[in-house]
Structure 1
């Protein structure tokens, strides 16, 4: 939506929830956004008083405003749970949908290419997790196909190796993602939809890159399977926790649509991504994780702010001497220095400055397993 089209009186209102980790409470606010001024305002629903007076805030945009999204306002992760008034519902209540994109075992190594296609289709990734399904779990997922002749082959393939589950959000996401995938039969896709994902990377009817929910109801059911609302349920992550190092694609890189390019660079360099998951960190978690830099690196406060400013994509990189080799591949913390001395490193290619430098990587070899455990055992426990 073009901001120039808004009238001077436009003000969009949402009901938002924020979990206060210090008090252990779920707090409710009315969030107001003024597009012409780029300003936000918050009202505490329970206490019936102004919480944040009208303040300019450059990191919130019209495209962020839809029910079901999580937005960051001054380091608070707010879940937008409903429209705050009829005007907002009429103007912004649109065709926004969620759908499941499941990347099958044959294309997990091509996850970067798939993400590139997703971003170019005006869809955004709001959740992501690499998992390894058991035969029983795969059969449960495909339960509606159990009477079909290909059921056993389908279940066997899906449970043969890790898969990556993605929650996609966007206008008519269900139909858009299925159109991006193309016909189920990869050979047919090459004849009829040569630009589709299955035409480019698929092999046959079973090894066909991915799965897409076929309806809004199916999407809700399938997303609950991989991303259940009950903590501790659902398929487990694939972290190995040995001979590993941690890589975090920072929020700015994710929001700028660089995740696909960065993952492609990592894979092209020969690194094995053995676990992957999207996290939205609260400030207390970011401070805890980056505590080793407190009082040591002058950018520490800014690093914390960046890390909890939006979703980040966390990877476990597996291999011999992984911390040292991957740290070298990431390059100097300052991308400007990297572009002069080591222009092919990740931070030189995708970073902006010492804070928004595309990726965090484990600095000390002995911390590799600890950093991986922080995300894939503690936060995903």
Structure 2
């Protein structure tokens, strides 16, 4: 999937590519650019869906009796049914081992396990019936819509993959690499609730009678209808919410509540909450396959790149704290991205025997 040519043989070719300026200069990003970015994603998704109608491939794997026995009745109830509000987050924890070991995008219900292609698009109707890239899949739902309100669906997106979901209420969610989302096929009549581990961008359909609640291991976000980004990877020290438009309430595990306004970011680090005004484009452009940097730690950037491409990247301690600024275009291969970083912060990278990369100072 990724180019693993000998580095010395391609050294001058990579130098030539750098001259075209893959890393753009920092510039003020306007609200128009954010709106244009959103419109571009919508157009790409529409085109992608039309193309995938012709070539969708998926594998339906029925859950074995033996696997169900191993899970046991108690774990089954936690993973796939909704006995209480806390069960959504509990289900994330209970299924973390499964999520960590998954190498393909997976849709998991109480009865089956569906493998999906990268950039797949799921759509649910009002009865919980799901279609994948506009092709209907009958077997991943109950006939009884009331039962779908109680049954949990799991979407697991491994590193190096991304996908999109439209829920039955019209809410759109873009799921980034290395993420896990749990939700009912049909939302409750009084609330719409999902659990997230990783990163998602949501455009929530307005419904004053049913608040939309995003639960994570560190905080909950409650909205009626708005656009925002949630980042809550279990391996990261910090978790955050960035509000694009509308209004949301964030409640931490310590019951601290914060009302957010557009262009604000709420971060939770080691139990402490902070609020700041930000350029939201920086935090949502991942859905456009971009990374916007402004004095970011190179170590943090490399961790995000590794997650995005699903590869292992190691770096020396001296590299981690070097600041880096600019825009990274993630539509190319991993080598192209590392070329840009290599030139921007005066580091060098080599491929290791496992297919990963190691970066050190020049």
TM-score by length of 2: 0.27
Ranked by relative contact order (alpha carbons within 8 Å, sequence separation 6 or more), the top structure is 1
- Whose strand fraction is larger, Structure 1's or Structure 2's? 2
